[in-house]
Every structure is written in structure tokens, then in C-alpha cells.
Amino acid sequence: MSNLSVLSASELGIALQELRGWSIEQGKLHRQFQFPSFIEAFGFMTSVALVAETMGHHPEWCNIYNRISVDLITHDAGGITMNDIHLARKMNELEQ
């Protein structure tokens, strides 16, 4: 399967079982992160930005103080793809 193929409902269901904290909202992979401080939240965003840039795949996100809201979708494919799953996994790793 290509990383740009939209995942089926069953593929997405399987992937979500492995993605702690992620859900589907408005057709996008969604998660809220919360950190002890703004600095830690911003540091997380910086780390994710470096990974996202190497992947050529960038999140839709919003930061308010220590909270980050993230939505992932592959616009070129018109839905959630393995690129989104890979970035979500990496974000979970970087949260640690």
C-alpha cells in the first residue's frame, strides 16, 4: 500500500488501536497534547516540526499555552493515509 492511499475504515480502526490518545474528528486524525508548561509544549512542537519537515508532511495544529491540538490528514490524497499514521506515532514517541 502506498503511503498516499487513503486508509479504509478497517485499516484506520486497526491503526487507531495502536495510537494512544488519537481519534477521528471531522475526517482527520486528532489528538490533544498537554504539557507542564508553555516551554515544554513549544519544545515538543519544535521537535515535531523537524520530523514533519523531513517527511514533507505537516500537521494542522494550534498551541494555547501548554496545550497543543493536532489534526492530521493528507490533503493530496483526500483523507487519512499511512503518512498521517507515521507522523502520529512519531508525535507519541516525542511526547515521552
How confident is the model over 9-21, as pLDDT tens digits? 999 999 999 999 9
How confident is the model over 12-56, as pLDDT tens digits? 999 999 999 999 999 999 999 999 999 999 999 999 999 999 999
Question: pTM of this prediction?
Answer: 0.91
Alpha-carbon distance 96 to 40, whole Å? 11
For residue 1, the model assigns a pLDDT of 47
Higher local confidence (pLDDT), 57 or 4: 57
Which strands, in side-by-side order, build the sheet including 23-25?
A: 23-25, 28-34, 67-72, 60-64
Q: Write down the domain spans for the chain.
A: 9-95
Alpha-carbon distance 30 to 26, whole Å? 9
For residue 2, the model assigns a pLDDT of 54
**Domain 9-95: CATH superfamily, name plus number:** Transcriptional coactivator/pterin dehydratase (3.30.1360.20)
